[in-house]
Structure 1
């Protein structure tokens, strides 16, 4: 026979893990400096311009 599990404790542990995962995502999304955001935006624009520059016309 299996071990007895406290379902309330299991539910709370799962909710805590979900909150921790959401906090990590929010740190990555909102925890960046203005310089980081500007660098990423410039890099994205540069890659898009490079890709558009080598695109063949149909």
Structure 2
């Protein structure tokens, strides 16, 4: 015969291991350093400024008096 196992403890240990594996995968997929986030924000601002500078706006018309 096998050992007597407390199923509640076994389930908790299994769930904890599963959650730890998921957390490790999330850290790998989404984890970025503060420097990387700052660099991405700076690049986005630069792209936005370039786009705004390239817009062709109609010339302002003077009102007829």
The structure number with the bigger radius of gyration is: 2
- Structure 1 unaligned segments of length 5 or more: list them: 39-58
Deviation at 1:19, TM superposition (A): 0.4
Separation in 2, partners of 1:2, 1:23: 33
TM-score, normalized by length of structure 2?
Answer: 0.49
Instruction: Return the offset for 1:7.
Output: 0.4
Distance 1:4 1:10 in 2: 11
Q: State the Cα distance separating 1:11 from its structure 2 match.
A: 0.3
Within 1, Cα distance between the matches of 2:15 and 2:3?
22
Segments of 5+ residues of structure 2 without an aligned counterpart are: 41-65
Question: Of Structure 1 and Structure 2, which has the larger fraction of its residues in helix?
Answer: 1
The number of aligned residues is 36
The 2-side partners of 1:12 and 1:28 are apart by 24
Structure 1 residue 21: Cα displacement: 0.4
Q: TM-score, normalised by structure 1?
A: 0.54
